[in-house]
Amino acid sequence: MTNFAAPRKSLGQNFLQDPNIINKIVAGLGIKASDTVVEIGPGRGALTELIIGQAGHTHLIEFDRDLIEYWNQRAETINNLTVHGVDVMQFDLQDIIKTSDTKIKVIGNLPYNISSPVLFHLMHYAEFIEHQVVMLQKEVVERMASESGNKQYGRLSVMLQQRYQIENLFKVPPTAFFPPPKVDSAIARLTPLLDIPHPVSDQSDFEKIVKQAFSMRRKTLRNTLKGALGSEQIESLGINPSARAETLNVADFAALSNIYSEIKQTD
């Protein structure tokens, strides 16, 4: 295949074309010659061409059938390139992790319509990842890095900050893409925490409590957590049941989750 098909709107395809931005994104991953790098959605290869030249082995996860064909052809002549023609949400990264002697590095221009689900999917493999550098809608990156008390602070902020150090590296204007998207983009670097400062005893319980607490932002914890935790249980942690979710920090949510898990075990 020599000619690329037009970008598919259904797949949220916007291809990078600004060489300065491309170089900055790849530099953010800090690739070494011994690294195994996973690129999600390589598209036409703006980042890929640089990554292949720097990494020990590069794995591409691509869903577009035309692009899969193109990259499979390229992989026939590139020894350190493997193509996985699959939906990233259905892909088990352990298939790559078990072949690498070191922690993997992940990079990708994530489709904006599924960016949060992809980030949550990658969380399952955080202990095996050294860094993730991802391009997302600017507002999503701001939410990820937002602190409690901020209007952008929410479920995504808490879930990711409990597991990662999050850096909002830089903005990417629409003019850096073809076709130009209608929104601004930004680059985030997520580094899994080696020593988790606020551990949770059950990840699924943590997800439940955080999601429930933010389900009705204008209501108090007393109301949003009703059925999971009572006012006395919330107060026992030094948290005001009349507070709203956005005023709590990650430590508070971890404590709520852990007492919820403890109560479940004794019921």
Span between the terminal Cα atoms of the chain, in Å: 61
Q: How sure is the predictor about 217, in pLDDT bands with cuts at 50, 70 and 90?
A: confident
Pick left, alpha or beta for residue 263 (phi over 0 → left; psi -120 to 50 → alpha; otherwise beta): alpha
pLDDT at 109: 87
* Stated pTM of the model: 0.90
For 140-170, letters b (16+ CB in 10 Å) and e give bbbbbbbebeeebbbbbbbbbbbbbebbebe
pLDDT at 153: 96
Residue 104: what are its φ and ψ, rounded to 5°?
-85, 165
Beta strands of the chain (E only): which ranges? Answer: 15-16, 36-40, 57-62, 81-85, 104-109, 129-137, 164-172, 177-178, 185-192
Neighbouring-strand partners of residue 189: 133, 167
pLDDT at 13: 55
Q: Are 56 and 35 in contact (CB under 8 A)?
A: yes
Q: What is the pLDDT of residues 73-111, one digit of tens each?
A: 999 999 999 999 999 999 999 999 999 999 999 999 888
- Lowest-confidence range among 33-42, 174-183, 191-200? 174-183
Looking at per-residue pLDDT, the higher value among 181 and 143 belongs to 143
Neighbouring-strand partners of residue 108: 40, 134
pLDDT at 16: 87
Radius of gyration of the chain (CA): 20
DSSP 162: T
Q: What is the pLDDT of residues 48-58, one digit of tens each?
A: 999 999 999 99
Position 4 pLDDT exceeds 70: no
Position 194 pLDDT exceeds 90: yes
pLDDT at 183: 87
Position 191 pLDDT exceeds 50: yes
Q: How sure is the predictor about 12, in pLDDT bands with cuts at 50, 70 and 90?
A: very low
Q: How sure is the predictor about 20, in pLDDT bands with cuts at 50, 70 and 90?
A: very high
- Lowest-confidence range among 20-29, 117-126, 172-181? 172-181
Mean pLDDT within 198-217 = 96
Position 7 pLDDT exceeds 50: no
Mean pLDDT within 242-260 = 98
Q: What percent of the chain has pLDDT over 70?
A: 95
- Lowest-confidence range among 9-13, 86-90, 183-187? 9-13
Q: How sure is the predictor about 179, in pLDDT bands with cuts at 50, 70 and 90?
A: confident
Pick left, alpha or beta for residue 43 (phi over 0 → left; psi -120 to 50 → alpha; otherwise beta): left
